[in-house]
Amino acid sequence: MPETLELALSLEDRKESFINSTAGRKPRIIICAGTGCMANGSMKIYHRIKLELEKRDLSVAVALQKEEADYSLAESGCQGFCQMGPLVTLQPQGVMYVKVKEEDVPEIVEKTLIQGILIERLLYRRPDNDEPVSEVKKIPFYERQQRLMLGLCGNIDVKSLDEYIANGGYFMARKAVLELSSEQICNELLASGLRGRGGGGFPTGRKWDLARGFENDVKYVICNGDEGDPGAFMDRCVMEGNPHAVLEGMTIAAQAIGAAFGYIYVRMEYPLAVKRLREAIIQAREAGLLGKNIYGTSKAFDISVKEGAGAFVCGEETALIASIEGKRGMPTLKPPFPAESGLFGKPTVINNVETLATVPLILRMGASEYKKLGTDTASGTKTFALTGHVANTGLIEVPFGTTLREIVADIGGGVMNDDGTLCGVDFKAVQIGGPSGGCLTLEHLDLPLDYANLQKVGAMVGSGGLVVMNKNTCMVQIARFFMQFTQNESCGKCVVCREGTKQMLALLDDIIEGRATPETLTLLKELAHVVQVGSLCGLGKTAPNPVLSTMKYFWDEYQAHVIDKRCPAGVCEALLSYRIIPEKCKSCSLCARKCPVGAISGSKGVAYKIDPEKCIKCGACISSCRFSAIVKG
């Protein structure tokens, strides 16, 4: 018992030690070291800042050092505002510099760090009035969010276990191990209303309670980090920026169901996430937080990282289990559900990264406080990857019930035209939920986003992708993009999905390339419903969603493609016609000489013409015309 008490108290010791260290105090320089910022050279900025400070005989402490120093330098995870990276944040001022380059570092050190002078050209500027904003909390992108689960991402050093502990980390895992029964943990999660954030939205506490109820000497906890939706990077940012939160959530889940081992399944395209998770696991083992005798007790729980080959279907839990077991990642029939017979036939709980990282926060806040966030049917907050034709793109977190208008107009800063100018919220559509989701339109601007409301309009929360599209977007092309993705990613196990998605893609090609008839639209809709009903797993069942939702809300656009042989957005090449503007044509004949099929004719002094029957729409005429006399549309 004394051994248990001594180790339990060590969290307080580590917290106090960090707070008293230079790294735990200000002034502090935080460099975003998420994948996006690193790709743009943020680590060069990190090392250059260290060098420039040392040149001036100023000492620098990093997270793994505890000595006294003039400044503390930290590598954070993704701060969310990816579009503006690399990001440099200065504390205690709360100043954020955006789009920083290595050559900006000497000026940052000399002017801002030493003299306290802000560099205005490095500050974020509002897209509507070009006004500079210095404080992070006053940037509209951050001001309108409620960063609960992402609160530590971007604010703590990813390499520091002690900083995570100093912010309350692992205290709830310790409480789960030493004080709470498995039933108490499950009941707290049930009371919180937490639902799976990976797309299915199944109540987390109920899933854990089901696995708890099955008697077996061996049980498993799996974290699903196989984030495969196009444009989605929520889980990646958490794994890279706050890996210990994932480990703590898994530890609590293990205590709830009686598991002694867990796996984190991460796609191999996330090498930085894999690296940081493995480093965090080593740190936790050395601290007695993972492995044998955790928190000085007789209990054991350890975690291993399993890299997946990047198959989208492995996001489905039974396909993921098959992959961990060394088999081909293909879904299996349910029941039995993994809670009864999962990994190696043992009771298994599978949750995604965001769900597990939220669990310690719920125990810390209390279920009743957490449930105050969100709506009656969806408590808490949700992360979204906001991308597309919007001024501010990046990773956001808002309470359920937030409207599309708030996300696009306030956080996103408004919709952008193709030329980079703002057009407010005058957008065409938002694709929510990735390939499994559906479209929202202007009529849904004030719809509170949660599971129930989105289901009513033929969409879903999904993993949290939000792609904003302006009026120059062809919705048939969008439907085809997602259909091609799901068709490529179909595992091929069931005929309905394998062949149905292939035929749906072929029908969409017919529409885009001008071969379709009205019967094509009827067949496409019928086939979509067949694939929905007859597919084995979630990938196939939701694959037709983008097609059905675009057909529902943009039926006129489909008809224009099929009946009028016209693309209203002017995107589908096969449906565009090339013509020469007589007033601009100089009768130079260059376009006629460049045309490979002799579709252009004319004579000196008379404007040339294009024969639409012969034209193959190769674009040679447009690129050759020096007077911009040839247009397509």
Mean pLDDT over 623-632 rounds to 91
CATH of the domain spanning 577-632, picked from 3.40.50.2300, 3.40.50.720, 3.30.70.20, 1.20.120.140: 3.30.70.20
Instruction: Provide the percentage of residues in the chain whose pLDDT is more than 90.
Output: 72
Residue 187 has a pLDDT of: 96
157 pLDDT exceeds 80?
Answer: yes
Residue 5 has a pLDDT of: 52
Instruction: Decide whether 18-142 matches 577-632 in CATH topology.
Output: no
- Condensed to tens digits (0 to 9), the pLDDT of residues 298-353 reads 999 999 999 998 888 888 899 999 999 999 999 998 899 999 999 999 999 999 99
- Condensed to tens digits (0 to 9), the pLDDT of residues 200-247 reads 789 999 999 999 999 999 999 999 999 888 778 889 999 999 999 999
SS (H, E, C) 550-614: HHHHCHHHHHHHHCCCCCCCCCCHHHCCEEECCCCCCCCCHHHHHCCCCCEECCCCCCCEECCCC
105 pLDDT exceeds 90?
Answer: yes
**What's the predicted TM-score (pTM) here?**
0.90
175 vs 5, higher pLDDT: 175
- What's the pLDDT band for 1 if we cut at 50, 70, 90? very low
589 pLDDT exceeds 70?
Answer: yes
As a whole number, the mean pLDDT across the chain is 91
- Condensed to tens digits (0 to 9), the pLDDT of residues 171-184 reads 999 999 999 999 99
Q: For the domain 169-371, what is the CATH code?
A: 3.40.50.11540
Architecture of domain 18-142: 3-Layer(aba) Sandwich (3.40)
In words, the CATH class of domain 381-469 is alpha beta
Mean pLDDT over 176-202 rounds to 93
- What's the pLDDT band for 66 if we cut at 50, 70, 90? low
- Condensed to tens digits (0 to 9), the pLDDT of residues 508-553 reads 999 999 999 999 999 999 999 999 999 988 888 889 999 999 999 9
DSSP letters, 32-82, are: E-SHHHHHTTHHHHHHHHHHHHHHTT--EEETT--S--SEEEEEE---S-G
Q: By C-alpha distance, which of 100, 31, 80, 95 is closest to 60?
A: 31
- Residue 156's contacts (CB-CB under 8 Å, 6 or more residues apart) are 74, 76, 163, 164, 167, 242
Domain 475-562 CATH assignment equals 1.20.1440.230: yes
Question: Hey, what amino acid is at 259?
Answer: A
Residue 231 has a pLDDT of: 75
6 pLDDT exceeds 60?
Answer: no
Domain ranges within the chain, ordered by starting residue: 18-142, 169-371, 381-469, 475-562, 577-632
